[in-house]
Amino acid sequence: MSTTSNPTGRPIGTPSGGRPYLAIPGPSVIPDPVLQAMHRPSPNIYAGELLDLTDSLIPDLKAVAGTQHFAAIYISNGHGAWEAALMNTLQPGDRVLVPASGRFALGWSEMAEALGIEVEVLDFGTASGWELGRVAERLAADPAHQIKAVLGVHVDTSSSIRNDIPALRAVMDEAQHPALLMADCIASLGCDRFEMDAWGVDVMVTASQKGLMTPAGVSFVFFNDKAAEARARLPRVSRYWDWTPRANPEEFYQYFGGTAPTHHLYGLRAALDLIHGEGLEAVWARHAHLAQVIWAACSAWGDISDPAQGLRMNVTDPALRSHAVTALHLPAPRATELRRWLEDNLGLTLGIGLGLAPPDSPEWHGHFRLGHMGHVNGHMIMGLLGGIEAGLTALKIPHGEGALQAAAQVLGGPTDRQA
Ligand SMILES: *Cc1c(COP(=O)(O)O)cnc(C)c1O
> How many C-alpha atoms does 30 have within 13 Å on its Cβ side?
19
Nearest to 174 by CA among 200, 146, 202, 148: 200
* CATH, domain 15-30+280-411, list 3.10.560.10, 3.20.20.370, 3.40.50.10480, 3.90.1150.10: 3.90.1150.10
Nearest to 160 by CA among 111, 186, 126: 126
* Ligand 1 pocket mutation pick from 76, 104, 156 by most atoms within 8 angstroms of CB: 104
Residue nearest to atom 8 of ligand 1 (CA): 78
Rounded distance from Cα 143 to ligand 1 centre (Å): 33
What pLDDT is recorded for position 17?
Answer: 76
Ligand 1: nearest atom to the Cα of 77: 7
> Per-residue confidence at 1, pLDDT binned at 50, 70, 90?
very low
pLDDT for residue 416 is more than 90: no
H or E, element range at 63: helix 49-65
What pLDDT is recorded for position 414?
Answer: 73
> Per-residue confidence at 144, pLDDT binned at 50, 70, 90?
very high
Calpha distance 236→229 (Å, rounded):
13
Q: Is the peptide bond before 15 cis (omega within 30 degrees of 0)?
A: yes
What pLDDT is recorded for position 413?
Answer: 85
Nearest to 266 by CA among 35, 109, 7: 35
399-411 pLDDT per residue, tens: 999 999 999 999 9
Helix segments in 279-359, DSSP class H: 280-302, 334-346
What pLDDT is recorded for position 3?
Answer: 45
Backbone angles phi, psi at 280, to 5 degrees: -60, -40
Nearest to 196 by CA among 82, 83, 87, 62: 62
pLDDT for residue 49 is more than 60: yes
* Ligand 1 pocket mutation pick from 22, 86, 106, 157 by most atoms within 8 angstroms of CB: 157
Inter-CA distances, 110 with 93, 118, 151, 168, Å: 14, 10, 12, 21
Rounded distance from Cα 76 to ligand 1 centre (Å): 11
Calpha distance 180→195 (Å, rounded):
16
> Per-residue confidence at 205, pLDDT binned at 50, 70, 90?
very high
- Domain coordinates in residue numbering, the chain: 15-30+280-411, 39-275
What pLDDT is recorded for position 417?
Answer: 56
Mean pLDDT, the chain, integer: 95
List all residues whose CB is within 6 A of at least one atom of ligand 1. Answer: 26, 77-79, 104, 153, 155-157, 184, 186-187, 207, 216
Contact 197, 166 (CB under 8 A): no
Of 55-64, 192-201, 375-384, 405-414, the range with the lowest mean pLDDT is 405-414
294-344 pLDDT per residue, tens: 999 999 999 999 999 999 999 999 999 999 999 999 999 999 999 999 999
Ligand 1: nearest atom to the Cα of 325: 15
pLDDT for residue 58 is more than 90: yes
What pLDDT is recorded for position 332?
Answer: 98
What pLDDT is recorded for position 4?
Answer: 47
Residue nearest to atom 6 of ligand 1 (CA): 78
pLDDT for residue 127 is more than 60: yes
Of 9-18, 168-177, 410-419, the range with the lowest mean pLDDT is 9-18
Ligand 1: nearest atom to the Cα of 104: 11
Calpha distance 15→8 (Å, rounded):
16
Rounded distance from Cα 12 to ligand 1 centre (Å): 32
156-200 pLDDT per residue, tens: 999 999 999 999 999 999 999 999 999 999 999 999 999 999 999
Which CATH architecture group holds 39-275? 3-Layer(aba) Sandwich (3.40)
Rounded distance from Cα 219 to ligand 1 centre (Å): 10
362-377 pLDDT per residue, tens: 999 999 999 999 999 9
247-293 pLDDT per residue, tens: 999 999 999 999 999 999 999 999 999 999 999 999 999 999 999 99
